[in-house]
Structure 1
C-alpha cells in the first residue's frame, strides 16, 4: 500500500466541526433567493435588494424629501426602517424587487410632529357603482398607480428622522433628516397626499362629489370623466377615449405615475360563536390580521360578508373557536377561489332595487339582531351590508323595519351619487322585504301608534313611500337574497343564494379571490 506521503502529496489535515453539510439544490437555492427579507442585514446579502434600496434612495433624493441638518437635544427624532416586497405578475412570475423606506410613525408626538391625520378613501359601493355605469355605457376603464405617492405631499410640521440604515452620509454621520415631503409611515402622510392630489384635480376642472369625497367628476358638454381615488391607486373612466388619454398625459406631467392600462385589479360560511367560549388566543395580532384581510376580501365577495362580520365582532379578545371559524372561512375561499362579481351592460334608465332582511335576536350573547341588505343597479350588484343592530329589537317586525330603514337610507345616498354621475333612474326605488307586518308598517301610518318605541329616525321610510320615490314590496323568504347576510345557512341554501350574487371567473395568483369582471 502506498501512502500520500510516498507519492509526494503534502497537505495539512483539516479538522471538521462534526456538522454534516449537504449541497443546496439549485431549485431550493432559487426559493431562498426569492424570499422577502425581514430586516436590512438580510437584504444586504443579495444584489437585487441592494439595487432596490439604492433605487428608492435615489428617488427620495430626487424628490428633495429631506435635508440633512444638525441634531439638537430637544428635537423628537423619528426612526425609520426598510420594508421589502417582491412584486409579481398575475402568473406568479417576479415583476420587480421593491424596497421602501418607512418612517416609524409611532415615534411621533401629537401636536408636535403631526396634527390632523384623517384621509378619506373611496367607498366600496361607489367603486361598484362607477364600474356598473362604465360597463353599461361602454366606457374604457384605466388604472393608474402613483409611484411613491406619499412623497408628493408637503409637510406643514417640522419632522426630524434618523438617516436611513445603510445610507448614512459619511461626512455628516451625526446629522438628521429634516423632512419636507411626507414619507410612508408618518401619521399625516395620507392626509398630505390627499390634499395634494385633490388640489391638483380641482385646479384642472374636476369637482368633488358631495356623496363621496374620493370621487372626482369632470363634466363638459361633450364628455365626462370619473376618477376614483383609493390612497395611491386610481381608476379613471370617461365617455371619450381621446380626452381620457389627454387627461392621463396631463396627470403624468405633474405626478410620477405608472399607467397600468385597462383596469385589472382594484383593491389586490358561518359558525355560531360566543364571546366567552374557548381559551383566549395567546397572540391576538395574528387573528386581527387574518380578519382584517377577510374584511378587505368582502369588497368583491358578498357571500362571506355575514361570516366575516361575525368573526370581526371578537377582535378585542379573540378565543380559540373564533380562530377556528376564521380558518373555516379560509377553507371556503380556497374551494371557491374562482368566484367574483359580474358587471353587465344595463339600459340607459336602470332601476335601483334593495332587498332587506333581519335575523331577530340572533346574537346568543347580546340578543341583538343582525340586519342585511342587497342593492342592485339593474342586475349589477353595487352595495350590500351585514351588520349587528346597536340596540335590542322587541319584535321581529321591529328588527325587519330597522333593516328596511338602513336599506332605504343607502338607496337614498346612491340616488344622490347617481344624480351627480348623470344617471337617469327609474322610479320608484323598490324595497323588497319578506315580512308582511313591515311592509304594512312602512305604508300605513295607523301602525305607528303601536311602534312609538322605535326611534323616529327609522320612520322616514314611510315618508319616502308617501312621496312616491320608494315602493315597499313583499318578497317570499325563499326568494330573499339578503337572507345570506343575516344568518347561517345550510350548504345548499348558501350555494343557491351565492350563485345569484357571485359568478365564476378565471382565477389568478394576484387577484383570484378578490376580483370583479366585466362583460
Structure 2
C-alpha cells in the first residue's frame, strides 16, 4: 500500500512499526498492508489449506514482520507487512535440503556502474514483488495459518506450501532457480566468475543483469533491448520498474554532468543517530597517527553495542574507502572491545559527521584500462607484528575495488610484506579480468599494478631469488607466472603518489586529503545546500589532480619516473 507522505501527516497515522500482531490489527493502514500480502499469497497459490497429516508432522510456525519503507530522502514510501516462516523450526533433511542466497559483491556492482558510466549505457532498477513466493518447493512443508487471519471454519487446519515463502531456509535457492530458468529462456547466460551476474549477447547488443535477492540492476547498450527484457520478465513475475537507478541497497546513485556519484549519506546519518553522535564535532581524519593513552584504556565496554556500530560501519565502506582501513582495525576487537577501541570507533563517526555527504565519483571521461595499486604496512600490528595489505583497482579513472586486510602470517621483511600485497592485488585484478571477459569486454592493454617497493617488483620478475623467498608459500608466486606470460605488467611508483597508502596506515591530514581525492572520493556534486562542497565540486575539474588528468599522470610516471627505476631491476 503506497501512501503519500503529506496524507500521512494530515491523517495523523502512527508510522511506527508495530511489535506484535495485536498492535497492528488496531491500526487500519497496517491491516490494509496485511490484507494486501495475503491477497498476493492467495493469487500466487502459495499454499493449500489442509488438515494436519499426523501428530508427528513438523509444522513450521509463521509470523508477521512489519516495515515502513522509506525513500532516499527519508520520506515514507509505503507500509509493508510480510508473512514469514519461523525457519529455525525447520528440520534438516525433512523440511529442507540445500540452501543458497543470491547476494551481490560490491565490486561487481561498482564494475557494472563504472561500465555504464564510461560507455553511456542506461542504468535501470527493477524490483520483483514477493519474489520468494515464485520459488517452487521440492520438499513437503507445512506452516501454521497466518496469525490474526485464521480460517473461521477450519481454525485447526495447516497450510501445505505449494511455493516457497519468506524465511524458509530453502526459499532463496528456490527463487534463484526459478528466476535463472526464465533468464536462460530469454538468452542470458551466467558469468563463470560470479553467479549473480547474467549476460546477454544478441548480435551487436549486450545487456548485463545483477541480482540481489529480489532487487535487480539492468544495463544495456540498446534501449530497445532493455525494454524487451523488462517486458519479458514482467510477463512472468510481478515486476516493478523503478526507472533509472537512484537508490539501491542503501546506496544513493546520482547523475551529474560528467558522471555518476555514489554515496550513502542517509545510511551514514542513520549510524550517527544510532550512536547518538549526530551533534558531535567533526574531525579531519578517521584515524589518529598516535593514540593518546589513559588509565582506563583496558576497561571493557558493551560488546553487543560495539559490534552493532562496527558492523554498520562495514557496510558504509561500499562507497567510503577512506574509512576502510580504520574500520578494518576496529573489526579486529569484536570479542572483547575496550575503551580504547570504542574511542577509535567514535573518531571514525566524528570523521563521518564532517564528510557525511562524501562519496565515490565515477567519471564518464574514462577508459577501460585496468590498473591496480598495492601497498603494505610492514609489522604494523603492534600485538601480532603482522603486516597490513592495502590495494585499490581502477577501471580507467574510476576506482571499483579496494581492500585493507591484515596478512595471515608474519612477514620477515618489508619486501616480503609488499610481495604478499602484490599477490592479493593480482588475484583481485585477475578476477576482474575474468568478469570483463565474461561480459565480452577486451582490455586495450594488459593490467598494470603499481608498487612503491623495488624489491617486491624484482621478486615478481626474477625467479632466481630462492634464498630470499624460499619460505614464502608457493601460492604467492603466481604473480611471477602472470608477469612471465605477459598478462600482467608491474610498475614502480614513488611512495608520495601511492594511492593505496590510506588503506594501510593512518596519514597526516594534508596527505590524506590529496590521496582521498585521487581515489575519487569527493563531496556531493549535486547538493545545493552545502555551499562549500558545491564550490569544491565546481573547482575540481580545473585541478591537475582530477581523475582524467590523474590517469594521464600515471602514464607519464610510467614513462619517466618508473623507467629510471625499472632499469635497475629489469636488467
- Tell me the TM-score normalized by structure 2: 0.79
Give the aligned partner of residue 345 of structure 1: 364
1:298-322 superposed Cα distances (whole Å, 9 cap, x missing partner): 1111111112222222334444443
Equivalent-residue separation in structure 1 for 2:437 and 2:523 (angstroms): 32
Q: Please name the residue that 2:20 is paired with.
A: 39
User: CA 1:59–1:317 in 2, change beyond 3 Å: closer, same or farther?
Assistant: farther
Question: Does the 8 Å contact 1:122/1:212 carry over to 2?
Answer: no
User: Which of 105, 125, 139 matches 1:143?
Assistant: 125
Aligned residues: 480
The yes-or-no answer on 1:160 pairing with 2:179 is no
Decide which of 53, 62, 80 is 1:80's aligned counterpart: 62
- Please tell me whether residue 420 in structure 1 is matched to residue 438 in structure 2: yes
Query: For 1:202-247, what per-residue CA distance to the aligned partner results, in whole angstroms no more than 9, with x for missing partners?
Result: 1221111111111111102131111111111101111110121011
RMSD: 2.4
Equivalent residue for 1:201, pick from 167, 178, 183: 183
Aligned to 1:192: 174
Provide the rounded CA distance (Å) in 2 between the counterparts of 1:119 and 1:307: 29
**Mapped pair 1:436 → 2:417:** no
Match of 1:251 in 2: 233
Indicate yes or no: 2:290 matched with 1:290.
Answer: no
State the alpha-carbon separation in 2 of the partners of residues 38 and 230 from structure 1.
Answer: 27
Shift of 1:28: 10
Shift of 1:61: 1.4
Residue equivalent to 1:496: 514
| Cα offset, 1:78, TM superposition | 1.9
Sort the Cα spacing of 1:343 and 1:306 in 2 relative to 1 into closer, same or farther, 3 A.
Answer: same
The CA deviation at 1:345 is 2.2
Which string of whole-angstrom CA distances, capped at 9 and with x for unpartnered residues, describes residues 149-198 of structure 1? 11111122222212111111111111122222221111111111111111
Where is the helix percentage greater, Structure 1 or Structure 2? 2
Q: 1:270 aligns with which of 270, 283, 287?
A: 287
1:306 aligns with 2:288: no
* Shift of residue 260, structure 1, vs aligned partner: 0.4
The CA distance in 2 between the partners of 1:422 and 1:57, in whole Å, is 44
Q: 1:157 to 1:503 in 2, by over 3 A?
A: same
Contact 1:430 1:470 survives alignment (8 Å):
yes
Counterpart among 92, 100, 107 of residue 74 in structure 2: 92
Q: Alpha-carbon deviation of 1:457?
A: 0.9
Distance 1:311 1:42 in 2: 39
| Structure with the larger RCO, 1 or 2 (CA within 8 Å, 6+ apart) | 1
Q: List per-residue Cα deviations over 1:258-286 (Å, max 9, x = no partner).
A: 10000112221237899x964444462x3
Cα distance in 2 between the residues matched to 1:103 and 1:278: 43
2:30 pairs with 1:49: yes
Residue 109 (structure 1) aligned with residue 91 (structure 2): yes
Instruction: Check whether the contact 1:142–1:263 (CA below 8 A) recurs between aligned residues.
Output: yes
The SS at the match of 1:463 is helix
Give how far 1:493 is off: 2.9
Partner of 1:448: 466
Instruction: State whether residues 137 and 163 of structure 2, in contact with CA within 8 Å, keep that contact through their aligned partners in structure 1.
Output: yes
Q: Secondary structure at the match of 1:446?
A: coil
Deviation of 1:366 after TM superposition, in Å, equals 2.2
Conservation of the 8 A alpha-carbon contact between 1:223 and 1:238? yes
Q: Which runs of 5+ in 1 are unaligned?
A: 1-26, 509-518
- Which residue of the partner structure matches residue 348 of structure 2? 329
Deviates more, 1:441-450 or 1:225-234: 441-450
Q: Distance in 2 between matches of 1:265 and 1:93?
A: 13
Structure 2 residue corresponding to 1:482, chosen from 483, 489, 500:
500
Moved more, 489-498 or 472-481: 489-498
Partner of 2:334: 315
Task: State how far apart, in whole Å, the 1-side matches of 2:527 and 2:330 are.
Answer: 26
Q: TM-score when scaled to structure 1?
A: 0.87
Q: Is the CA contact 1:225–1:236 (under 8 Å) kept in the aligned structure 2?
A: yes
Of the structure 1 ranges 307-316 and 74-83, higher mean CA displacement relative to structure 2 is found in: 307-316
SS at match of 1:219: strand
2:397 to 360, 379, 395: 379
2:379 corresponds to 1:361: yes
- TM-superposed deviation, 1:471: 1.7
